[in-house]
Structure 1
Amino acid sequence: MAEILKLEFCKVHIENGYMIVIVDEGQMIDIEKSDILEAVAQDYFKGNPFVYITHRINSYGVDPNVYKSVSQIKNLLGFCVVSSNYMAKSNAMIEKLFLNKPFEVFDHLDEAKEWADSLAV
């Protein structure tokens, strides 16, 4: 069963095997906010494998330094970006260079969920 959390800077949907994060407009995801999201993931998945899906509905920034610590999350199977916005997808392709985990970009949330399910097999 899905659970929805509202944090100060985003909304997090926890589902079986993945978390879907919708960051609020104009935010900057820095190390501090990334650590908060990592704590949420560890709290809900408790060491079980999961995929992080960021649904980029809003425009926001990401400090590429966050990917150094994100790459160290042992139970993180993969990371993906969902957006139909050209700029968001271009930024995601750059971010991909900083993450040492499977990283994909999709136009639709259903595609991201299918990919997440395929990693969990």
Structure 2
Amino acid sequence: MGLIHYYNISHAEVFVFDNFLIKQVKEGVTIDLEETQELRQILKKHFKGKNMAYISNRVTSYSVNPLVCKEVEKMSNLVAIAIIPNDLKMRQSAEFEKQFFNKPFEIFNNLTDAINWVEKIVLNN
């Protein structure tokens, strides 16, 4: 892994690596289309013209507008999404969100397994 970039944006902490990013949303936030625009700016800066994966490390409780899922899916260089839920309710939410994606989308119990999976997906695309 190369250099890691860190962003503390309005709704989340974002850790950017060579082939993927890890996003940890802040407690009580509702992710809507506005928050997606903030993330798009980071993606343009670090992943313009190259494939990448998104890891959602769900360490806090928050909600996601399902319409955001369709917007995120439109990102042509996004090739995979990994979710690491912190509890059963978060896992059920991730299972629901999975229905809205037509790209590789998996749920993991830990960050290491998620990183290994997304690295394989990005390298094979």
TM bracket (short chain): over 0.9
Q: 1:21-68 deviations in whole A, cap 9, x for unaligned? A: 000000000011012112211211112110000100000000000111
Cα distance in 2 for partners of 1:108, 1:72 equals 27
Unaligned runs of 5+ in 2: none
The 5 Å alignment of 1:1-121 reads 1-121=3-123
Corresponding letter in the other structure for 1:40: I
* 2: CA distance, partners of 1:38 / 1:89: 25
RMSD: 0.9
Q: In the alignment, residue 67 of structure 1 is paired with which amino acid?
A: C
Gaps of 5+ in 1: none
Q: In the comparison of the two structures, how many residue pairs are matched?
A: 121
- 2: distance between equivalents of 1:47 and 1:91? 31
Instruction: Tell me, yes or no, if the aligned pair for 2:7 and 2:15 is still in contact at 8 Å.
Output: yes
Q: Runs ≥4 in structure 1, deviation > 4 angstroms?
A: none
Q: TM-score, normalised by structure 2?
A: 0.93
Partner Cα distance (2:101, 2:81) in 1: 9
Alignment check: 8 A CA contact 1:84 1:108 kept:
no
- 8 A Cα contact 2:60 2:86, kept in partner: no
In 2, Cα distance between equivalents of 1:47 and 1:6: 24
SS, match of residue 32 in structure 1: helix
The two structures have a TM-score, normalised by structure 1, of 0.96
Rounded to whole Å, the distance in 2 between the matches of 1:91 and 1:66 is: 14
**Aligned-partner SS, 1:51:** strand
